[in-house]
Amino acid sequence: MVDKMKIRVLERGERSLKIEIVGEGHTFCNLLRDFLLKDPDVEFAAYRIDHPLVSNPVFYVRTKDGDPEKALKKAAEDIINALENFKKSLALL
């Protein structure tokens, strides 16, 4: 069973969102940022980690149009689909 990821909303605007992703690092944040930036409605997606041993990533998303939370959810679904396709490809080896 996989534990749920803990996310804290730090700031929320009509087209922007600033969240803290507890316990994650560059690996997940780079993946999430890359998938967000593929979305034509996302204007900006970035994160910062002040210190990898003592800080959680703070992630920023701003949309051109639409809800940033929906963009995050769509990116998460796209990541899951990409991983499922990768898993299926491995089964063919």
Model pLDDT for residues 4-61, shown as the tens digit of each residue: 899 999 999 999 999 999 999 999 999 999 999 999 999 999 999 998 788 999 999 9
According to the model, what pLDDT value does residue 4 have? Answer: 86
Q: How far apart are CA 39 and CA 34, in angstroms?
A: 9
Residue-wise pLDDT tens digits, 69-81: 999 999 999 999 9
Q: How far apart are CA 88 and CA 36, in angstroms?
A: 23
CA dihedral defined by 40, 44, 45, 46, rounded to 10 degrees?
A: 150
According to the model, what pLDDT value does residue 1 have? Answer: 61
- Paired with 15 in beta bridges are none
CATH class of domain segment(s) 7-91: alpha beta
Residue 65, phi then psi, degrees to nearest 5: -150, 140
